[in-house]
């Protein structure tokens, strides 16, 4: 992971540990999640069964090159399916290593297969009648194309797409802990995470302190070699991603956003970008409307919880959301009103094998992880046996 896409070495080690937890979770719980259910009616004995669909095609991204695959593969295989992986083009060694892990673990040949194919070839795989469903984690554009291709074949799809997650801070929050977590939530994986906090929506009473301390912490981050243990932000995964992030920042500043720190490429070998903070962001700028896949934080000042919700929901995305408040009423308000697949209160958004993961709006549909994740790729079969005279 570190060599192919620049992930911090310690973050790569943590990712492997997470994969272990995911595999163990489904090894221990799949039987219960897929257990036959009995439903008695006046006229029949009824059963609900969860049966495998067959070969499932997975198109996965580079930013979490092991975890994204295992969080699909562990439940899909435990449900009795076969998995075919088309991984991102810049992580082929990760893709091959994952296939090797399943082989070493004793899975029969072909149960998990890595396909080293070009993006243009994915459509023909989806069209193959042997493929029963498709899952994709990636961009909006890729999700639209894959969902359309699957729909033309009347095949199920699950999409986990982009996010522009809000990070809401209210006056009752523990500000020191919130600021520390906010920095970590924004710079995880050099900012290249769908569930990274991207839009910091700050109540007016805490705005000035939050901004001052947050900017200082962002400015002090150590950017460098991801193999070095002291490095806090490594390179972006490619030059095109670096150029895209810089273009979004420059256009936003030109539109009127205020640059508080950072805002340019670091002149050194590799695809490094300065930790960046933008404020006073106009609605017509890229920073307001688009997902920025790099270490760029966007700050918004709001008067109250209602305005915070309005700004948070003023997005085409709805993956995760984080709200920081110790007011029980506000906690319930945010949990109910935020338009997202996941709402975390007083903690950063994260994936956990025990909890369903996925988004709303243009962040996709369907769920991974939890009991819901293993039931995405099964045939939910109803069996009804009419009562006999003996009954």
Which one of the listed residues 15, 194, 274, 368 is annotated catalytic? Answer: 194
Scanning the structure block, which residue is given the tokens 């993961």?
357
Give the DSSP H/E element, type plus range, for residue 46: strand 44-52
Residues 217, 272: Cα–Cα separation, whole Å: 18
Q: Do residues 163 and 363 make contact, with C-beta atoms less than 8 angstroms apart?
A: yes
Q: Which residues contact 159 (CB under 8 A, 6 or more apart)?
A: 135, 136, 137, 143, 146, 147, 364, 365, 366
List, as one string, the DSSP characters of 125-151.
HHHSTT--EEEEES-HHHHHHHHHHHH
Which one of the listed residues 99, 145, 160, 330 is annotated catalytic? Answer: 160
Residues 333, 356: Cα–Cα separation, whole Å: 21
Closest CA to 142 of 101, 195, 66, 88: 88
Active site residue 389: no
Active site residue 298: no
* Triad 349, 352, 353: Cα angle to 5°: 155
**DSSP-derived secondary structure letter, 267:** S
Show which residues are catalytic. 160, 194
């Amino acid at each position: 992971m570190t060599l192919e896409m620049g992930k911090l070495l310690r973050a790569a080690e943590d990712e492997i540990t997470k994969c272990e937890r995911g595999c163990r979770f489904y090894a221990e719980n799949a039987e219960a999640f897929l257990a036959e259910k009995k439903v008695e009616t006046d006229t029949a004995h009824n059963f609900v069964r969860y049966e495998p669909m067959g070969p499932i095609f997975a198109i996965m991204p580079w930013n979490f090159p092991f975890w994204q695959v295992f969080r699909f593969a562990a439940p899909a295989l435990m449900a009795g399916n076969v998995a075919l992986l088309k991984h991102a083009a810049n992580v082929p060694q990760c893709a091959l290593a994952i296939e090797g892990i399943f082989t070493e673990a004793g899975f029969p040949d072909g149960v998990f297969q890595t396909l080293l194919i070009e993006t243009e070839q994915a459509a023909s795989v989806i069209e193959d009648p042997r493929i029963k469903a498709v899952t994709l984690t990636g961009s909006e554009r890729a999700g639209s194309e894959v969902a359309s291709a699957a729909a033309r074949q009347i095949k199920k799809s699950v999409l986990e797409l982009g996010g522009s997650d809000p990070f809401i801070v209210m006056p009752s929050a523990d500000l020191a802990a919130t600021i520390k977590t906010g920095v970590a939530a924004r710079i995880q994986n050099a900012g290249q995470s769908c569930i990274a906090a991207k839009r910091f929506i700050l109540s007016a009473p805490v705005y000035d302190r939050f901004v001052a301390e947050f900017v200082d912490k962002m400015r002090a981050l150590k950017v460098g070699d991801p193999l070095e243990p002291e490095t806090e932000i490594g390179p972006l995964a490619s030059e095109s991603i670096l150029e895209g992030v810089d273009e979004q920042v420059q256009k936003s500043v030109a539109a009127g956003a205020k640059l508080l720190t950072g805002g340019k490429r670091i002149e050194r070998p590799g695809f490094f970008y300065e930790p960046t903070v933008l404020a006073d962001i106009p609605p017509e700028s890229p920073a307001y409307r688009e997902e920025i896949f790099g270490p760029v934080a966007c700050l918004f000042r709001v008067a109250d919880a209602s305005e915070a919700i309005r700004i948070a929901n003023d997005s085409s995305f709805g993956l995760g959301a984080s709200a920081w408040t110790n007011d029980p009423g506000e906690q319930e308000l945010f949990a109910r009103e935020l338009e997202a697949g996941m709402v975390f209160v007083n903690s950063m958004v994260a994936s956990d094998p025990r909890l369903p993961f996925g988004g709303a709006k243009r962040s996709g549909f369907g769920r991974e992880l939890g009991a819901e994740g293993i039931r995405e790729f099964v045939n939910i079969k109803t069996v009804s046996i009419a009562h006999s005279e003996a009954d």
